Amino acid sequence: MVRQAEVEVQTTGHREVHDLTPTVTAMVRQSGVQCGIAHVFVQGSTGAVALMECERGLKKDLPRLLDGLAPPSPDYAHEQTWHDGNGHSHLQATLLGQAISFPITDGSPLLGTWQQIVLIECDIKPRRRTVIVTAIGE
């Protein structure tokens, strides 16, 4: 069985970390898949999804780390081509990735105690993100 659903998330812009766990958990449960794999994907080249502990400190630390790895700068070729201020946003999202997968057991995501599903907004302005959840299994 394969079930797919999507949710729209309005972000506030660069450095926002949004906890998707309750929404994705509900979507997986509604899928009817008891044992299988869940796949979460965010559309767009400046958004990312990840598994992490979604607590106040890490919600500050992750964007700070990303800004250290790919800081805002006019020196990126993307900036020199488009002059839109978000060259670093594309690079940060690429480092994290736009998709994650995890097991479904007994109809629910099988995550660790301190593991949440998060959407990271890497773009410099608010965005309306489409997150697609696919549950595959029986």
Q: Please say whether the beta carbons of 35 and 137 come within 8 A.
A: yes
Per-residue pLDDT of 17-48, as tens digits, reads 999 999 999 999 999 999 999 999 999 999 99
pTM over 0.85: yes
Strands 108-109 and 99-105: antiparallel
Class of domain 2-137: mainly beta
- The span from the CA of 33 to the CA of 108, in Å, is 8
Residue-range domain boundaries for the chain: 2-137
Locus of tokens 């506030």: 12
Locus of tokens 């106040």: 56
